[in-house]
Amino acid sequence: MMRLVAVAALAVLALAGCGKPPSPPAAVADVGWAYYGGDAGGQRFSPAAQITPANVDDLKTAWTWSSGELAAKGEAMDKASFEGTPIMVEGRLYICTPFNMVAALDPGTGKELWRFDPRIDPTVNYPNDVVCRGVAFWRDPQAPPEQPCAARIFTATNDRRLIALDAASGRLCPGFGAKGTVDVGAGVVLARNGGMQITSAPVIAGDVVVVGSSIDDNQRVDEVRGTVRAYDARDGRPLWSFAPLAQAGPDFRAGAANVWAPMSVDEARGLVVLPTSSASPDFYGSARKGDGRDANSVVALEARTGRRVWGFQTTHHDVWDYDVPAQPTLAEIDYGGRRTAAVLQPTKQGLLFTLDRQTGAPVIPVVERPVPQAGAPGEALSPTQPFPIAPKPRAPSDIAPKQAYGLTPWDRGACEKLIAGAQRGGLYTPPSLKGSLVYPFTGGGVNWGGLAFDPRRGVAIVNTSSALHKITLIPAAKVDAAQEADFEAEISPQTGAPYGMKREVVFSPLGLPCNPPPWGMLHAVDMKTGKVLWEIPLGTTRDLAPLSQFVVRGVGTPNFGGPIVTGGGLVFIGAAMDDYLRAFDIGTGKELWKGRLPAGGQATPMTYVWKGRQFVVIAAGGHSKSDTRRGDQLVAFALPG
């Protein structure tokens, strides 16, 4: 992943829309954005409609806010990703930074009202670098409205703390846990400091606060288990815990299966919906025979008790690091003419599963298809994997040597040899000692940005990436030597397994991806039929490889972050490996506008209306894995006047 910067070396420069004299917009009713995903179910939709395809080209920067971390953190910024999406509730914006500083801002001006710094240690080597995707708001219905901590901001930190802050002042809520803080990692024995962190926003169901965790990948068989924990929102008392591997059986030796991606809440049904990751270690599973119970699954729990209501597994016996990476989106769909309360779950494989929210059964049918079986010695692969019949996979998964990409016959020929020399067979080709192609790579397909759903049109908008990983298993006795010989490569021991692993993106000698473009796409799917309405390349290389824009066009870039949809008929998305926020017509996919950012916009934007004016806000801070331009700002766009 550290070389993902090279993937963007062939992307095009998108054309900005032509300007026209701006006209003052009419004032409209105020609209908030009270949750990380817009609503508790993560639809990332706002009814705000002041900005439309007719006037979006008039958008200008309205205000910016800086956390100051770019200067304050120094070299620690190299391991930071500003993935945060603010919330706007009760007249204030609330944002967390990669280092878990929380700030409250005036939504009209960006003026800082307060800040709280939990002072995490920036030198700790966290498995996913330092990340904070969002915070959660809760108002206690039993407390007098003006009482301190009647309204609270909950934030969870990289060093495993759950913190309650007074929404009005930013001060710790003394009645919660130990003077405002609960130690989520209490009693957890880690193999190394930083091996468990919390990167996604807590979710709240009634008066229950739920948090997941991110755990070391690929390090060992006997890893910490990925327990989800719930606490009383008033006093921080532990209420319940859920470990996805708890029912896997006594012969199932593994950890992880954690919930690092954002969760969703079905408030009407009292459910919290989890996206779980793979069991440890990622790329070899002889010690964890069987499908893995609730690993790699969408799981619904009763929010008050933690009781498992249902689960649906998207990958059986995962040896590809195909976590369920994105927030489950709760939406009402009309597939086949039948109205259903559904869960829409995109995956790293570029698949989109549509499940019944009450039972977990597929709404759009899922079939089990045979998959490659040439696993490493001792491996016991699942003979089949689940595939929804619609929509069709949104990321390519098979490649032949003759499909290799290159600017010249020389580098294309080198890619042909790299592809021909690896074990390949399409999606779910297992890791091997020879080296196997994992396609899509472990970054997606879809990643943590998830999808946006327009409930008025019944359309899902999702962005995908496309690249090749080569996964090579290394006999355990040779892992140390391999690390010494190639210290810049990603080589992990998978301690306790007979094999370690090496993961590398497949590039040409020129540093370009060997798989054919486009490498980043934006798609629109009609959830009434499961058909794709349109799809277009997403991203340019203006800020990463400027000269390449004159060589090739229409290739897109890998992307981190997701889209939002508005009542004005627009899709807003940053995510691509350049410094832009873009707007697209949801009906056609046409790019209508792009706004320049001071740093990489690898975050999901949000929108709200405040005092009659609609704003679109995105974090511009760059991303450690894609090495985009670093920064520490929030940028708000609005129509003039």
Measured CA to CA, the distance from residue 69 to residue 119 in angstroms comes to 12
> DSSP H helical segments within 58-210, as ranges?
69-73
**Contact call for residues 615 and 638 (beta carbons, < 8 A):** yes
Length of the chain in residues, anyone? 641
Task: Kindly name the residue from 129, 321, 526, 578 that is annotated as catalytic.
Answer: 321
Rounded CA-CA distance 288/280 in Å is 9
Asked if 322 contacts 296 with a C-beta cutoff of 8 angstroms, the reply is yes
347: exposed, middle or buried (Cβ count in 10 Å: 0-12, 13-18, 19+): buried
CB-CB contact of 352 with 391 (8 Å) = yes
Query: With the C-alpha atoms ordered 479, 481, 482, 484, is the resulting torsion angle positive or negative?
Result: positive
What are the φ and ψ backbone dihedral angles of 418, each rounded to 5 degrees? -60, -45
**The token pair that represents 265 in the structure block:** 């809440």
- Enumerate helices (H) and strands (E) in the chain, giving the number of each: 3, 42
β-pairing, 436-438 vs 490-492, is unpaired
Question: DSSP letter string over 515-578?
Answer: SPSP-EEEEEEETTTTEEEEEEE----TTT-GGGGGT--S----B-S--EEETTSEEEE--BSS
Known active-site residue 294: no
Tokens read off for 209: 């606060």
Report CA-CA distances (Å) from 253 to 15, 241, 543: 53, 20, 45
CA atoms lying within 13 Å on the CB side of residue 384: 8
Catalytic residues: 321
